[in-house]
């Protein structure tokens, strides 16, 4: 719905965002926006700056330069107000391993001030098909189960914007498909804006309304998957990805 997109304030607006770690510019003058209700794919090779961008959007790390607005609020000055309305999950977050899945989720539900936490937790466990693991310590779960528990945690506060860093990375194809379906359902029913990273280009084609390819912290292609394909004169995002990954950046120093 391109005509309504302009009328609604962007859920996320990033201008000139830069993050340096010593000599490395992990994110290098990045500008983009994400419309409300969109599923937005942040793509690119390992080390492109995807995780750092998500951390900057969440205020987990401070930018070297640039401006981040989420839901019309400024990061970092409105950080707490933003964090109440967003959530995130990463394949690499660890939950206290001696607590059970349910205990872990109850702790987060308490932190988020969830009303009727029991019902909420049960519904999310069901949605992501991990009800069977509710009584087990998180330390005893497979990485796929842990990923799904992290997704339950990410939806506890009914976030308006959700940041997912490689949510399907450790899932088998069947469970990955179920997670995609659950994410689409939550997007359709609640209009959640989702920013997510993945290396699975087929999944990205199915799920994303819009994508942004990063290389060396810079935007190198963006648009709807079909726009990106048309511009690259390609019929597969996988080929676009490989071409981007193999491109040498002009700014790369001579050795
Ligand atoms: N805390 C850090 N300290 C130093 N360098 C970092 C740190 N975090 C990320 N980097 C570097 O920034 C670049 C981008 O990393 P990252 O955002 O994790 O990429 P991606 O998620 O796309 O794989 C890489 O070169 C990485 O080594
Ligand atoms: Mg990453």
pLDDT of amino acid 3: 46
> Would you place residue 239 in the very low, low, confident or very high pLDDT band (cuts 50, 70, 90)?
very high
CB of 56 within 6 A of ligand 1: the answer is no
Q: How many CB atoms lie within 10 A of CB 253?
A: 6
pLDDT at position 253 over 50: no
pLDDT of amino acid 7: 47
Structural domain includes residue 253: no
Task: Tell me which residue has tokens 């330390």.
Answer: 139
How many Å lie between the centroid of ligand 1 and the Cα of residue 123? 35
Strand partners, 28: 18
CB of 92 within 6 A of ligand 1: the answer is no
Structural domain includes residue 255: no
How many Å lie between the centroid of ligand 1 and the Cα of residue 168? 20
Q: Could you tell which of 17, 18, 49, 62 is best to mutate to test the pocket of ligand 1, judged by most ligand atoms within 8 Å of the CB?
A: 49
Long-range contacts of 244-247 (CB under 8 A, 24+ apart): 244/44, 244/45, 244/213, 244/215, 244/220, 245/44, 245/45, 245/215, 247/215, 247/220
Contact 17, 53 (CB under 8 A): yes
CB of 215 within 6 A of ligand 1: the answer is no
| Number of domain units in the chain | 1
Return the ligand 1 atom nearest residue 27 CA: 14
Structural domain includes residue 254: no
Structural domain includes residue 201: yes
Q: Could you tell which of 26, 55, 219, 251 is best to mutate to test the pocket of ligand 1, judged by most ligand atoms within 8 Å of the CB?
A: 26
Domain range enclosing 218? 2-246
- The CATH number assigned to the domain holding 94 equals 3.40.50.300
Structural domain includes residue 98: yes
Give pLDDT tens digits for 198-210.
Answer: 999 999 999 999 9
pTM given for the model? 0.90
Nearest-angstrom CA–CA distance, 199 and 242 = 11
pLDDT at position 254 over 50: no
């Amino acid at each position: 719905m391109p005509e309504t997109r302009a009328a609604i304030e962007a859920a996320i607006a990033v201008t000139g965002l830069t993050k340096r770690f010593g000599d490395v510019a992990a994110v290098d003058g990045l500008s983009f926006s994400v419309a409300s209700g969109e599923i937005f794919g942040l793509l690119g090779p390992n080390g492109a700056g995807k995780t750092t961008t998500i951390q900057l959007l969440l205020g987990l790390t401070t930018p070297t330069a640039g401006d981040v607005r989420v839901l019309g609020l400024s990061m970092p000055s409105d950080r707490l107000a933003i964090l109440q309305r967003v959530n995130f999950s990463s394949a690499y977050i660890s939950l206290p391993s001696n607590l059970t899945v349910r205990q872990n989720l109850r702790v987060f539900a308490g932190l988020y001030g969830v009303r009727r936490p029991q019902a909420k937790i049960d519904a999310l466990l069901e949605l992501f098909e991990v009800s069977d693991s509710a009584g087990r310590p998180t330390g005893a779960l497979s990485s796929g189960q842990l990923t799904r528990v992290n997704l339950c945690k990410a939806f506890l506060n009914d976030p308006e914007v959700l940041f997912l860093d490689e949510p399907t990375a450790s899932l088998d194809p069947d469970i990955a498909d179920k997670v995609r379906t659950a994410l689409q359902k939550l997007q359709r029913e609640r209009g959640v804006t989702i920013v997510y990273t993945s290396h699975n280009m087929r999944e990205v084609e199915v799920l994303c309304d819009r994508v942004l390819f990063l290389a060396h912290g810079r935007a190198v292609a963006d648009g709807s998957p079909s726009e990106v394909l048309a511009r690259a004169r390609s019929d597969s995002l996988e080929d676009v990805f490989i071409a981007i990954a193999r491109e040498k950046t002009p700014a790369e120093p001579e050795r």
